[in-house]
Amino acid sequence: MDAKLFSYKADGIVLEPLNDHLKTSPVFDRKELIEKLKEILKDDNFTLDERSIEYKIEDGQLYLQGLAVKQEESKSIGFMMNSK
């Protein structure tokens, strides 16, 4: 099974100072981000392994990182029977 790693930059989700001790991000819909990422990966025939998703912050910017797996074409085995 083919797989690849991904790192997705969540545009617009950046930490901003709330006070001297705390930075927060704007409100965002986590499921919406995941759906957008699924659509991007689907074009390349990969599916997102949601169990692998990690949320990382680099220089105040949110990134989703994880594993995508190649979708296998379903193979079917047919049997032909000759009834007499």
Contact 30, 43 (CB under 8 A): no
pLDDT at 84: 61
pLDDT mean values, one per 10 residues, the chain (84 residues)? 94 96 96 94 92 96 96 68 66
pLDDT at 50: 94
Q: How many Cβ atoms are within 10 Å of 48's Cβ, its own excluded?
A: 22
pLDDT at 77: 67
Greatest distance between any 2 Cα atoms in the chain: 86
The pTM of this model reads 0.77
How deeply is 25 buried, as exposed, middle or buried, from its count of CB atoms within 10 A (0-12, 13-18, 19+)? Answer: middle
pLDDT at 72: 75
The DSSP element (H or E) to which 17 belongs, if any, is: strand 16-19
Q: Which amino acid, 43? A: D
